Structure formats: C-alpha cells, structure tokens
Structure 1
C-alpha cells in the first residue's frame, strides 16, 4: 500500500498561527479561505504539495507575489495554495549574460540586484509583483521597447507538472512548454520554480521623467500622447496615468536610455501641451533609475479593492472613446483608480505574434482602467462600471492582457491569446491532460481527435 505524501516546506493550515497573514493579498477583494498554505523552500516542496493535492482531491492555486487582480486565481476556498515567495535565489552569470532566478523573487528585487552588478532586467510598474506571475503572462513595462517583454527574455525554466514531476524547458527540450510559458499565463501548465533569463549590460546613466498636468487637461494630453508615444525613439518608455476627476491628475512617468539633453528634446511634444504643474527630467545612475521607476508598493497594508480591465489600441482613441473615458473618470473614486497607458512598439513589435504565446504585438499602446473601493457594499457598483466601460471601448481596442484579468470577459481564450489559443490548448493537453491546474479563465486542454 502506498503511503500518502506528506506536505513539506513551511506549512500553515486553517486555524494555525500565521494563517490570517498568509491569506492577505495586495488586493483584499481576492482574499479567500484556503485549507492550507505551503510556503515552498525548494522545488521538492512544490512537488510534494501537488502530489498531496492530487491524493486528497484538493484544488491547487500557485502564488508568487500576491498581486493577483481577480478572484479565485491565486487562492481558492478549501484549496491548497503553493506559495513560492520564499524561494529567492538570484544567480548572475556575466560570462553567458544570463541570470537564474527562483520564482519567489519580486520584480523589484531582481531589477535592483542586477542593477547593482551593472545589468538591466525588465520590470513593470510595481516593485512587489512576483517574477512568477509577470513572466508567464508576458511582462510589460517601460523597458519593453528596448529589451522586449519580460517573457521575451526567458530562455529556460524549471516546472513541476500535474503529477508532481520536475521538468525543464529550453529551446532544445520541452520547447513547446517554453513557448507557452512566454505569455500563456500563470497557473495553466504547472508550478514554475526557476527561470533563466538573458540579461544585458545596463547603461551607467539614464534619464527619468515625471510630468503632471491638471485633470481638466487630460483630453489634450491624451491626444498628444497617443500621437507621439508609439513612434518616439524606442529607447523611451512612457506610462501615462489619468486619475479620477475627484482628486486626480494626469501624470506621465518614464525613462529614456540616453542623455538628458536628448530626452528633453524628445519630450517636447508633451511638455509643450497644456500647463504642466510639475516637471522632472533627470539624468541618474542606472541603480537610481530603477528606484525612481519602482516606488514602494507594499502588499500587506493595501486597503483598496480594485476591478481592472485592459486592452490594446491600434490607433488613437477618437472622441467617442474619450467620452466613455470621461464618464468613467467622473464616477470612480480613490487614488489608485483611473486609466493607465503604456507605449508599444520597438522590440515588442519586432517579434511575430506566433513566435511566443504573447500574441498582441502589433498595437500602438496598451490601456488598462480600474475602479477602487474600500467598503464591501461598493464592490458590485465598481465592478459594473469597469465592465460597462469595456463594452463602450470595445470598438476601439483589441484583446486583453492576461496579467490584468477581467472575469467579465466571456470566451476569454481568444481575447487573451488571439490565434495562439488553439496551440496553447494542445500544450495544455500534453502537460496537464487532467486539467489539474484550472481557474475561472484557465486554458482547457484540447480534446483528442
């Protein structure tokens, strides 16, 4: 008779000390009541947890940085959460220009660690997002036009599959799994424990900028940004944020991998629009560039719940789309709510949509919007406004970003993955035919035949 698998690592059951702390996510709206948390210390702990879950018929949720933006993705009532956040090794090999990182690292920790050693790692807009989740969903951010998406730099990984077997994927072995892991979304194929990235030398200095305008000028700033940002020098990454009418403003944050003089010239089409209330354009050592771009974003103290949605724009928003934005911004509240745009092109668009699982490469910009609330009674209203705004904007956007999921999207596979969806379903059928790893919008295995 086979003995049942024992859970290993740091194990916290419901009712144990530390359970409430283990349950807290960046977004309180996503908190659930799992049966047990396994904080893996090594890959074998992950393997044991998957075997245990299979034997006990318990649903599995992998978790890395606790930044899941929708419900039932990184936690589930009565399930097991396999949390890899305590697996934090980072090993840089300057000779090969590669870094091996365990999947519990945050984006900020990796970017800072490598920057101190003179290397550049792509990052998003939050320091505390886990490298596990951001990589598997694509990984967008202000360096993408120069170095590509986070996942474009992924050249190998270690994963524990649905049977608890440890497998590795590179371009020469399990290459279909590597392809799928570069944009196919987390929690679909297995639990990743280690990534190998190619890394580049960082410049000694780079230029950062932050420009703000009054909220009332958002339309003219947005129009100027949408015609300028997609075609500006690809060494320049720009994030445009537009807050709610109540208490919000317009701000553009970004970096340019070049001199302050050149950055100032390139930014002129924006700095000359409206009446900026503040303007920073500063040349900094690269280590400080990372700090400037990644402000602290603590997980445990976040009080606001959010509902997000996202898409990709192929041309500037016409007045009708801007009207829908305005209606949204006049209704939502809270310092974190609003619209967020990121310029596209460069290295992202040079890869073909089929070369990796990340499909939406031909856009001009990325757009996301979110409402936020603190009282549970305000949840339904806030979720509804985000989803109705999606319906209004639908004629002007394509697709959606799997790392900013919206469970209001029906038949979401092709929306997240475009025409890569059938291939992703075949990869799923190979590595997880029994659909052990599933969540409300996960990839179902392709049927045989």
Structure 2
C-alpha cells in the first residue's frame, strides 16, 4: 500500500491461515470480514497499527474479549482490527493493594489469579469478557453493592491516542481522560493497553446461592425479587434471570460476603415464594466462590446462537403493566436462551455521585436487559423487531441504557448511555481525538 510504516505483532490478512478463526466472535450476529487483524504483543504494535491505518485510510476497530453485542463495534468490514487479546499479563503490588493489568486478560482468569493470593476485584457474569471493554463501560456484577463497579477501581491507564502517542492517565495527569474511561464506553478515545486497579483483601469465606422456580410462577417470583433485592443487605448481590416460556426456567443466583446462616435468613422472602424446585446455599472459600460463579470456559467459546440485546434502568419498581410486557416478550421469543435479566443496584454503586465518573446510572433500583436468540437467518428480522418493540413498550417504566449492552436502535444514545455526562465526554473526545479517528456506530462525537 506504499506506506513506510509496517504492521508489527501477529498479523493475519484476509485469506491467511487462521483468518476464519480470527473473525469469529462470541455473538455470531456481529461477524464480518475485516481486511487485517493485528494481534498486538506490545504497546508499540498498537501504535504501529494506528499509524498504518491512518496512513492507508483504513477504518480502525479495537477488540479485547470478542464480546461486542452489536454490529460494527469491535470489527469492521475491510478495516483493521487491533486485537489486544495476546496482552494479558498481571502484576500485583500487594503493599499498595494494586494490580497492573494488560487490557485483554479476561475477567475469569484475572479474578481467579487474584483470589488465589487473597485479593478481590469486581467481576461480571461471564469469564471470557475482556477486562478492557467491561471496565470502559462501567463493569457491573454481583460485588457492585459491596465494593462498587469495576471502573470505580480503575486508578490509572495507558492509552495509545490517534497520533500514536502513548498517554498515561491518573488523578494527576490527564485526569479528564481517567474520568472518561471510568464508564465512557470502549474505543472512544484511543486504544487502552494497560490498567491499574485498586484491589481489596478477599474475605476468607463467602456464601453463594441458587434458586430455581417453574416458569408459571413468573409474576409472583419477579414481584418478590424486585421488592427484596434492591433493599437487602449491601453485601448481597443477586441476579434474576427469567428465560423464555419455551425454555421454562426462572433462575436466581447470588453472592453474599458473609455466613451461610446470615444469608439463609436474608433469603427467606425469596425462598418462601411459589414452589422452588431447587434451593442451594453454600458457604465456600473465596477462591471456590469465584470458581463456582464464573467457571472456566474455553477462551474462544462461541455462542451457537445469534443474540440481540437491549437494556435499561428502572428507577422505580415495575408495576403490573411492565410485568405483562415482560411476560409477552418471553412468550413470543422462542429462543431457548432468550431472557429477561435483572441485577440489583444500590449500596456502593450509589455512594459515588453520577458526575464523579463517566458512569452516570448510580441510582436505579436494578439493572435490566432483555435479549432474543435465534439460529436461522430467516428468524433475524422477527427477533430484532421484538427487542425493539419491547423497548418502546417499556419506555414509560425505565430510563436510559447500559453502554456495555449496546443497542443501535437507540437513536438518542448519548443521554441514554451517559445521562448528563454526555457533553463533558464530547469535550474530552474533542481534546484526545479531535479528528474522530476512533469512530463507529454510537461512538461519542467530538464537540468543540
């Protein structure tokens, strides 16, 4: 292409051996055909890739854990994908209770490594998500009520900006960039290569639970969960997942940083509802807690189904009308993995003000997402329409959306993802990427 700048790292062009494997993502719905993949081994490889792409006028995408949930976000047709998944080193500084982490160690391996040496950081519900992406959008999970979001623990980062310059951001240097990275969405400002996180001493033991009910108890189980979960002891994180009628499962799981005895009494309002077919409560060492909640998966595990997801924030409890909308979605969506997913908020999440970091949604009662799944291409449009229609129907009962569960049907995405932080994010974008080199659907546009 006539450029003096050479790509470095592990490079795979279209047509090379390994290309098909390189272009596969967790969600087949987002697959496309980039021109080239650069699997960076170092920060210098990232710099070279950005400079090469700009010189040759090739669109850029950053990829970490291959978990992008909508099209054209971590891969682009005929573009360059700068993939940091070979950069996964971790250094622990136990004296200062910090971990320095390259941006594609995946959440599972990172959390397990730290647990083995007695430390705890927040984690989400999938072991194979890259730490790079989940951190940028906020990073929710079962520990958020007790110790906060993943992004709340970010104290420094290394980023390659649009001119190939390596920047460090912390509270003293480029502090606006650190602010933006804590919830401002992946890939907007540059390509991150290293993070420094605050870590916590892990408890010696903690308690996990799992409850299953038959699907026909949907209304009473959901009402009991929403009345209980946002207000329960802050040391208790709980997920409720209600799958499609076709699947027939209602499933609550959770983690309590305390004893089995105490958790058993806290769970009483949930266990006593309906007729659970399974109630499991187990006190475990913290390392076993982590193994139980995020079991090992092959790094390249791929879903066999296409997923379309949308999300929102209920700031008040769901009335009957909203529960009816949920039920009709789950009756109509036939995919076995289609579901409504809820995670309780509160506690440490709302001890930080919405303006203190780019993550705005500090005060909802819980987080909500709904997704459909399908395997046949002929079913795609029906499922996409169902997700979109459900969003419109739920709009009186919810606000906004979560940038880590992106939905390109959201037109007014800036305020929906970032609330009143959107304008400040646009100014920071203008400072660090004035030419909008890092742009993709729903990326933050610069504002001067």
Q: TM-score range by the shorter chain?
A: over 0.9
- In the alignment, the residues of structure 2 paired with residue 373 and residue 296 of structure 1 have an alpha-carbon distance, to the nearest angstrom, of 25
Q: Using the alignment, how far apart are the partners of 2:352 and 2:228 within structure 1?
A: 22
Counterpart position of 1:393: 394
Indicate if the aligned counterparts of 1:139 and 1:150 stay in contact, CA closer than 8 A: yes
Rounded to whole Å, the distance in 1 between the matches of 2:336 and 2:157 is: 37
Q: Distance in 2 between matches of 1:388 and 1:337?
A: 15
The correspondence of residues 376-387 of structure 1 with structure 2, limited to 5 A, is: 376-387=377-388
Distance (whole Å) between structure 1 residues aligned to residue 54 and residue 22 of structure 2: 22
Q: Deviations over 1:345-387 (max 9, x none)?
A: 0000110000000001011100000000011111111111001
In the alignment, which residue of structure 1 is the partner of 2:146?
Answer: 146
Q: Quick one: distance in 1 between partners of 2:3 and 2:226?
A: 61
- In 2: Cα distance, 1:167 partner to 1:94 partner: 25
Contact 2:247 2:337 in 1 (8 A): no
Deviates more, 1:48-57 or 1:374-383: 374-383
> What is the distance in 2 between the residues matched to 1:335 and 1:134?
25
> 2:360 & 2:303 partners in 1: Cα distance?
32
Give how far 1:296 is off: 4.2
Deviations 1:401-443 (A, max 9, x none): 0000000000210100000000000000000000000111000
Give the aligned partner of residue 39 of structure 1: 39
Confirm or deny that 1:282 pairs with 2:282: yes
Instruction: Write out aligned runs for 1:407-418 (5 A).
Output: 407-418=408-419
The corresponding residue for 1:250 is 250
Deviates most, 295-304 or 125-134: 295-304
Structure 2 counterparts to residues 353-364 of structure 1, below 5 A: 353-364=354-365
Matched residues in 2 for 1:361 and 1:399: separation? Answer: 12
Q: Is the 8 A contact 1:126 1:297 kept in 2?
A: no
Q: Report if aligned partners of 2:112, 2:290 keep a CA contact under 8 Å in 1.
A: yes
Partner of 2:315: 314
Secondary structure of the residue aligned to 2:73 is: coil
Partner of 1:107 in structure 2?
Answer: 107
Once residues 338 and 369 of structure 1 are traced to their aligned partners in structure 2, the CA distance between those partners, rounded to angstroms, is 6
Could you tell which deviates more after superposition, 370-379 or 298-307?
298-307
Does the Cα contact within 8 Å between 2:246 and 2:336 map onto a contact in 1? no
- Aligned-pair CA distance for 1:104: 1.2
Q: Deviations over 1:118-156 (max 9, x none)?
A: 000110010000000000000000000111100000000
Alignment correspondent of 2:187: 187
Query: Which residue of 2 is the match for residue 333 of structure 1?
Result: 334
Number of the residue aligned with 1:292: 292
Q: After the TM superposition, list the runs of 4 or more consecutive aligned residues in structure 1 that deviate by more than 3 angstroms.
A: 295-301
Deviation at 1:335, TM superposition (A): 3.0
- When residues 259 and 83 of structure 1 are mapped into structure 2, their CA distance, relative to the original with a 3 A threshold, is same
Counterpart residue number, 1:422: 423
Cα distance in 2 for partners of 1:3, 1:387 equals 44
Over residues 185-204 of structure 1, what are the superposed CA-to-partner deviations in whole Å (9 max), with x where a residue is unaligned?
00100000000000000001
CA distance in 1, matches of 2:65, 2:140: 16
Matched, 1:323 2:361: no
Distance 1:300 1:241 in 2: 21
State the SS of the aligned residue for 1:231: coil
Q: Does residue 129 of structure 1 match 2:109?
A: no
CA shift, 1:314, in A, is: 1.2
Which residue is equivalent to 2:22?
Answer: 22
Q: Is the 8 A contact 1:157 1:178 kept in 2?
A: yes
Shift of 1:3: 6.1
Cα distance in structure 2, aligned partners of 1:74 and 1:333: 28
Are residue 164 (structure 1) and residue 160 (structure 2) matched?
no
Secondary structure of residue in 2 paired with 1:313: coil
Distance 1:335 1:127 in 2: 21
The equivalent of 1:80 in structure 2 is 80
Mapped partners of 2:170, 2:350: distance in 1: 23
Aligned residue pairs, count:
446
TM-score of the aligned structures, taking structure 1 as reference length = 0.98
CA contact (8 A) 2:108 2:296 kept: no
CA distance, structure 2, for counterparts of residue 323 and residue 427 of structure 1: 42
Instruction: Check whether the contact 2:136–2:182 (CA below 8 A) recurs between aligned residues.
Output: yes
Question: 1:266 & 1:300 partners in 2: Cα distance?
Answer: 36
Stretches of structure 1 that go unaligned for 5 or more consecutive residues are: none
